[in-house]
Copies of this chain bind each other. A is one copy, B any other.
Amino acid sequence: MPQTIVESKTKTTIIGFDQPFCVIGERINPTGRKALAAQLEAGDFCTVEKDALEQVACGAAMLDVNAGVVFHSNPNPNETEPPLMRKMIRMIQEIVDVPLCIDSSVPDALEAGLEVCGGRPLVNSITGEEERLEAILPLIKKYNVPVVAISNDDTGISEDPEVRFQVARRIVERAADFGISAHDIIVDPLAMPVGAVPTACLQVFELVRRLRRELGVNTTCGASNVSFGLPNRQGLTAAFLPIAIASGMTSAIMNPIRDQEMEAVRAADLLCNNDANAAVWIKANKPATTVTAKGRRRRRAG
């Protein structure tokens, strides 16, 4: 069974079918976060620091790091993003010990991150687009790191799951030409919003099974996509994740601060026999011990 090995300077995480689901914290990303974007342009990393510590405390096994800010002072990300990514990666790996996921659409920012990142980070991402493959695969080979492969190509994102599967297959084949093995490719089969495409999730579940069976690759997705445009997005994601996990999905880029979704992941790990002796479940659901005014310990009702 394929295992994708990711590492920080001190910690190894294995992504694989017989492993606990790998939660990749999505919070360190200025997209849609104006305050964070302004902070990053000003060189203020206090929110990044808080997000890093909090996500790891909530159980993230990895952290995604995205430096995609368009600076007001210089609107060219090709110039601003690489040094920002370098700073962010350096800072984050000093305060947390989980492996990182270097996330950028700017190839130079990916390389800047790879230069300073200890261990074996994950790169996010390649697609089936020719230009992207040519730019990123040599980096993946040079640094010997795993990569997220999103199953769209130069023709865009297909609504046909068969096309998305074939795009993934081509990426795996192209990577093989560079000497990169399938176990270092983590395919994102693209979960579309179920509110727009009623069969979107059924497609993803089936794609995950095929990707596992036929290509032997690990898989991931942006878990919150499926609920886009619908109310109670957490409630939907908390049902999506267990089905995805039981279908063979091995990681997701998601928000570990959300209790309901993390509980769903822990429950699915247990139900799918990836939590030996229910140890993680029992620990996460221990009644809290509180100290009363009289100094006696009391158990809160569960």
Across the interface, do B199 and A246 meet the contact criterion of CB distance under 8 Å? no
Q: Which of B232, B238, B240 is A238 in contact with, Cβ under 8 Å?
A: B238
Residue interface mask A280-302, B partner, CB < 8 A = 1: 01100111000000000000001
Query: How many whole Å from A130's CB to the nearest CB in chain B?
Result: 34
A278 contacts the other chain (CB 8 A): yes
- Most B Cβ at <10 Å: residue of A195, A239, A273, A287: A239
Q: Does A49 contact B (CB under 8 A)?
A: no
Question: How many copies of this chain does one complex carry?
Answer: 2
Name the residue of chain B whose CB is nearest to the CB of A275: B198
In the complex where A198-B273, A238-B238 touch, is A243 in contact with B230 (Cβ < 8 A)? Answer: no
* Interface contact A231-B264, CB-CB below 8 Å: no
Tell me the A231-286 residues at the B interface (CB within 8 Å): 231-232, 235-236, 238-240, 242-243, 245-247, 263-264, 267-268, 270-273, 276, 278, 281-282, 285-286
Measured between beta carbons, the chain B residues less than 8 angstroms from A195 are 278
A176 within 8 Å of B (CB atoms): no
- Could you tell me the distance in whole angstroms from the C-beta of A233 to the nearest C-beta in chain B? 9
* Bound: A27/B211 CA distance, A: 42
The answer for the CA separation of A193 and B197 in the assembled complex, in Å, is 36
Which B residue's beta carbon lies closest to that of A273?
B198
A243 and B268 contact, CB distance less than 8 A: yes
A202 on the B face (CB < 8 A): yes
Does residue A165 face the partner (Cβ distance < 8 Å to B)?
no
Given contacts A267-B239, A271-B243, contact A281 B201 (CB under 8 A): no
A235–B268 Cα distance when bound, in Å, is 10
B230 touching A278 by the CB < 8 A rule?
Answer: yes
Name which of A199, A247, A272 has the most chain B CB atoms within 10 A of its CB.
A272
Cross-interface CB contact of A232 among B231, B243, B276, B302, cutoff 8 Å: B302
Find chain B residues with CB under 8 A from A215 CB: none
Q: How far is the CA of A131 from the CA of B201 in the complex (A)?
A: 45
- Residues from chain B with a CB closer than 8 A to the CB of A194 are 270-271, 278
Given contacts A205-B246, A230-B281, 13 further A-B contacts (CB under 8 A): A198-B273, A230-B278, A231-B286, A231-B302, A232-B281, A232-B285, A235-B264, A235-B285, A236-B281, A239-B263, A239-B264, A240-B267, A243-B268
| Residue ranges of A at the interface with B (Cβ–Cβ < 8 Å) | 194-195, 198-199, 201-202, 205, 226, 230-232, 235-236, 238-240, 242-243, 245-247, 263-264, 267-268, 270-273, 276, 278, 281-282, 285-287, 302
8 closest Cβ contacts across the A-B interface? A239-B267, A231-B285, A232-B285, A239-B242, A201-B271, A243-B246, A198-B273, A236-B267
